[in-house]
Every structure is written in structure tokens, then in C-alpha cells.
Amino acid sequence: MTLAAAALALSSPLDAPATMSHQHHAIDYIEFTVTDLAEAKRFYGAAFGWTFQDYGPDYVGIQRAGGGEVGGMVQAPNVARGGPLVILYSSDLEASVRAVQAAGGNLTKEPFEFPGGRRFHFLDPAGNELAVWSDS
């Protein structure tokens, strides 16, 4: 699995400011390995409202509102767990839990408190583990 970010607090690309620019040595792009691109697009679109740009049969870009991309998904036969943990931000953690479950994600850690907020972990349909956190 290729996840090019560790413990990244990334909000939905739909919330990202269109004026974001590239910064030297900053995390710039996250790439997920998935086993089924169509299912991954359906899941992340349903759970988080993400939109995509297709680049052929084995790759899609995750779009940022206002243009550009914040990441991508590459199709491969297998997904290996245990890489960097991608952490998304939510302004409503309970709504995000419901959206992930309704879209077909499986919680691996129920919402829990930590210094600074609360978060939960889930598996997407391909087996990638991500987390979602909130400061409220």
C-alpha cells in the first residue's frame, strides 16, 4: 500500500481552499492503493463527498474544490495494511461515523477521546485503514 502521508489531518477536498500552493518538503499528495476503483470512488464519494478525475483504468485523482488534486487511488491486486495512518478532519464526528458505515466502511476503533479531541478508525472496502478526528 502506498500512503504518502503520516498522521495527516486532511479535510475533505471539497473544504480545501482553492488557493493552496505547493510547499517545499510539505505533504502534498496522498495515494491509496485499492482493489476496485469503482467501489473506492463510490465509497469515498458517499462517505465524504469526494470527487474524482479518471486517468485510465488503473488510476483516479482525488479532486480539490476549485481545481487541482490532493491525492489519488491506484488499482492493484492487494492492499497491505500497516502503513502510515491518514487522518481526516470532521466538524461532526458522529455524522462522519454514520456516513462511513452507511457507505460500507467498517469501524476498527469506535470513537474515543484523546488530548485535543475525539477520533475513530475505519477500513474502506479495499482494506485501507484511515481515521477521522474532531476537536469538538
As a whole number of angstroms, the distance between CA 67 and CA 50 comes to: 13
Q: What is the DSSP string of 70-107?
A: EEEEEE-S-----SPPEEEE-S-HHHHHHHHHHTT-EE
Q: What is the mean pLDDT of the chain?
A: 84
Query: 33-73: per-residue pLDDT in tens?
Result: 999 999 999 999 999 999 999 999 999 999 988 888 999 99
Query: 81-95: per-residue pLDDT in tens?
Result: 887 799 999 999 999
The confidence score (pLDDT) of residue 81 equals 82
Tell the CATH topology of 8-12+27-134: 2,3-Dihydroxybiphenyl 1,2-Dioxygenase; domain 1 (3.10.180)
pTM of the model: 0.76
